[in-house]
Amino acid sequence: MLKNIMSDTRKVLVVCGTRPEAIKLAPVILELQRRPHEFETRVVVTAQHRELLDQVLRVFRIEADEDLDIMRDGQTPFEITVRALEGLRPVLEREQPDVVVCQGDTTTTFVAALASFYLKIRVAHVEAGLRSGDKQHPFPEEVNRRLTSVIADVHFAPTDASRDNLLAEGIAPETVFVTGNTVIDALLLASDVPGSSPVDDIGAEARVVLVTAHRRENWGAPMEEIMKAVVDIADAVEDVQVLMSVHPNPRVRETVERVLAGHPRIRVIDSVDYVPFVKVMKRASIILTDSGGIQEEAPSLGVPVLVLRTVTERPEGVAAGTVRLVGVDRGEIVASALELLRDPVAYARMAHAANPYGDGHASGRIVDILARELG
């Protein structure tokens, strides 16, 4: 448990580096900032992903107090780790926070926890306890989150299953709190923001198939299979309009553009800001993705998700029926997508399943717990 601290306000340093982290930490940051009598909140970004991170911060009107700006073209996990660790050390030494808050499973998350541990600063981990059971999938995220759990002092588990994972690994029960997932908080906030999106010019009669794929383990041959499956789906269903949201990574973009080029019902779009992307998700009939966050977001919107991975650290969605693992086999992807597009009963079964990931109040619970645990 965290020890009491003498001062009236507690200094909380929130660290993020990627778009998913920013989405899921934004509601926590906003909740902390609403309580200045209790918390002095500082936001540090590593900018592991520069442009995608900045998009989200703009949406939620969050300004970083420190920006390490570590992103480089063609960066590797080695380079991200070294630059983030070296960049965080002087910030942590200068700020001396009472607790560092990190989220999820990125290299930034693990490094923030590690740097804090080296300086004997306590760590609170948001979205703790997710496990795929395979340290190579997703890579390097599965190991990042396991190592962060070893270091963290307070664990905010989004679901009972995540809590059970932590307890099975020997984490002290009194340090684990089930809060729901902050991604639902962010989704509800973003849903109320007006604005345009890439689906505005798509006719109401068309069914939109949204595709996102970017994970490192899917680069190369798996990405090629996924993109060929996308072409097959577009060829098979005449009223389908595919939107392929392409990650800026050049290895992903090369495969996407080469395989999908020229198809009349496939539109390749750059990654868009979070609010327009929420509108695209709401408009979609089905989503094909290897993203983690979308597995949590889409069920709140009633959109079935086909996951382009062989394992998931979010089994609650699979159990609830909102998510289906289809892997990267071309035939399996196509068969699963066509079943949903052609069978109204199968579609309704997934679209109407209950969302297991929360009620939109996770951030309030997290901040309440921090207030109590920090004395």
Q: pLDDT for 242-262, tens place per residue?
A: 999 998 888 899 999 999 999
Q: State how beta strands 266-270 and 240-246 pair.
A: parallel
Same fold, 10-181+359-373 and 207-351: yes
Whether 4 shows a pLDDT value over 60: the answer reads no
- Indicate the domain borders of the chain: 10-181+359-373, 207-351
Average pLDDT for the chain? 94
Whether 299 shows a pLDDT value over 70: the answer reads yes
Q: Which residue among 21, 31, 66, 127 is the active-site one?
A: 127
Whether 219 shows a pLDDT value over 60: the answer reads yes
CATH class of the domain whose range is 207-351: alpha beta
User: Is 105 a known active-site residue?
Assistant: yes
User: Is 253 a known active-site residue?
Assistant: no
Q: What is the pLDDT of residues 146-204, one digit of tens each?
A: 999 999 999 999 999 999 999 999 999 999 999 999 999 999 999 888 889 999 999 99
What pLDDT score does 7 carry?
57
99 - beta bridge partners? 12, 122
What pLDDT score does 3 carry?
44
Of 41, 61, 40, the residue nearest 274 (C-alpha):
61
Q: Which residue among 247, 309, 314, 365 is the active-site one?
A: 247
Q: Which residue among 105, 142, 225, 316 is the active-site one?
A: 105
Q: Which residue among 21, 98, 141, 142 is the active-site one?
A: 141
User: Does domain 10-181+359-373 sit in CATH 1.10.3720.10?
Assistant: no
Q: Are 274 and 23 in contact (CB under 8 A)?
A: yes
Q: Mean pLDDT throughout 45-69?
A: 92
User: Is 247 a known active-site residue?
Assistant: yes
Q: Which residue among 50, 145, 214, 330 is the active-site one?
A: 214
Cβ neighbors of 205 (< 8 A, separation 6 or more) are 239
Q: What is the pLDDT of residues 317-368, one digit of tens each?
A: 999 999 999 999 999 999 999 999 999 999 999 999 888 898 999 999 999 9
User: Is 37 a known active-site residue?
Assistant: no
Q: What's the pTM value of the predicted model, to 2 decimals? A: 0.86
User: Is 214 a known active-site residue?
Assistant: yes
Angle (CA) 238 243 248, round 5°: 150
